[in-house]
Amino acid sequence: MLPQCNITRAYAPYAHGSQRFAGSAVLKSKAVVSFHHTDTPEGRAMKKTVVAAAVAAVLSTGAFAQNVVLSGLIDAYAGSLQYSGDKRTGVVNSGGMTTSWWGMSGTEDLGGGLKAEFKINGFFRGDNGAFGRFNGNENTFSRDAWIGLTGNFGTVHFGRDLAPNFLPTVIFNAFGDSFAFSPLVLHANVPLFNGTNWAAVNAGDTGWSNQVRYTTPNFGGFSANLHYQFGEVAGNSSNRNVGANFLYFRGPFALGGFVHNVRTNNPNAGTVGSVNVGFSQQKAWMLAGKAAVGPVNLYANYEKATNDNYAGAAGNAESKTWSLSADMAVGPGKVLAGYADTKWTTTPTSARNGSKRDTFSLGYDYNFSKRTDGYVVYMNDKITNYDRGNSFAVGIRHRF
């Protein structure tokens, strides 16, 4: 006899700017399976069906007794890409609107309002099946790998978790967490390796390893996160990252921002996510806002980042970034538009001094269902002294 199961499905907002779909099964009895069949095609088929159901039930019994949820997202697109300074390339790539990922999370009720929780998620590329966001030896669970406690006091996580710059950047722009087409995210978090010497504005990656993260309770729509990443270098306590962010939601309005001091790399793949080459630390801050006006959401951001040279050496490089974007409900989807502008100033003057980048994107995101959407995007990108690039793409995203 197979166990009775109560299957529930729920949609929940996710911090990475999308929705995740979770299917869970609550088992009401132990799995006791017996069967008898004759050696016929129908009998053999029935045996395979019953065995498969039994295996699934046993696996479910172990997993869901601990409230473990398997979830993920796959996003792939086809198009023609040309960033400023690049030659045009036809591609099928992963992660047009959201970086593809998979993993598991879970909670345990400890009583008295206290819960234990964990999350281990990794990135993968839907275009070729490789693990990670990029070529290299990125850690398997570089998206999330933490354990923590949550209660009336707030939440504490230990491990690899979001960096302070991530949430204010992806929440307050119309393209969300698109590392391919969001002008703000491209400027803030994506370096170019095409000879333009364009460095990402934010140092330290969008996730910090070896960190303690504390999240306050929600106070009338206001919450904050405090981040501390240990450098784990013996005898060097200054080799660490520290930062904070805040989010405030009130009716049709929202505010957010972050501040960080980054001095150490994040161990994912070589120097990816490190302090910009030639500098010892970065200090940065951002303020962002959102206003809903009927079917339109308006977003604005301003960020300033200062990169200091090695200890004992004079000089720094400063970047200033501002961004405006909007989305508007049209039919079963949304029209998306975004613009970002970044300018670098160096002291003493260097080749980077006065370098400027402006990027504009226009797209439409069509909802096929609550879990699946398709999108089309056009992007225009220009860096000082380099040719303008134009990109076109069409893609599909599915949450599971």
Residue 26 has pLDDT above 60, yes or no: no
On whether both 223 and 104 belong to a single domain, the answer is yes
The answer for residues whose C-beta is within 8 angstroms of residue 368's C-beta and 6 or more apart is: 374
- When pLDDT is cut at 50, 70 and 90, the band that residue 317 belongs to is confident
Between CA 192 and CA 81 the distance in angstroms is 13
Question: Which of these ranges, 8-22, 68-82, 149-163, 286-300, has the smallest mean pLDDT?
Answer: 8-22
Between CA 162 and CA 180 the distance in angstroms is 19
Higher pLDDT, 5 or 211: 211
* Cβ atoms 374, 396 nearer than 8 A: yes
- pLDDT tens digits for range 135-150: 777 888 999 999 999 9
* Residue given tokens 């850690």 in the structure block: 139
Residue 360 has pLDDT above 50, yes or no: yes
Residue 127 has pLDDT above 90, yes or no: yes
Mean pLDDT value of segment 305-309:
87
The identity of residue 355, as a single letter, is S
| pLDDT over 90, % of the chain | 65
The CATH number given to whatever domain includes residue 271 is 2.40.160.10
On whether both 112 and 1 belong to a single domain, the answer is no
- DSSP type of residue 49: H
Between CA 73 and CA 75 the distance in angstroms is 7
On whether both 57 and 140 belong to a single domain, the answer is no
On whether both 337 and 242 belong to a single domain, the answer is yes
- DSSP type of residue 280: E
* Cβ atoms 69, 24 nearer than 8 A: yes
On whether both 287 and 140 belong to a single domain, the answer is yes
The answer for residues whose C-beta is within 8 angstroms of residue 63's C-beta and 6 or more apart is: none
Mean pLDDT value of segment 8-29:
33
pLDDT in the model for residue 270: 41
* Domain around 40: 1-65
Residue 291 has pLDDT above 60, yes or no: yes
On whether both 292 and 344 belong to a single domain, the answer is yes
On whether both 249 and 390 belong to a single domain, the answer is yes
Residue ending a domain, among 65, 93, 118, is 65
pLDDT in the model for residue 349: 73
- pLDDT tens digits for range 46-55: 434 433 443 3
Please tell me whether residue 207 adopts helix, strand or coil conformation: strand
Residue ending a domain, among 43, 65, 87, is 65
Higher pLDDT, 184 or 6: 184
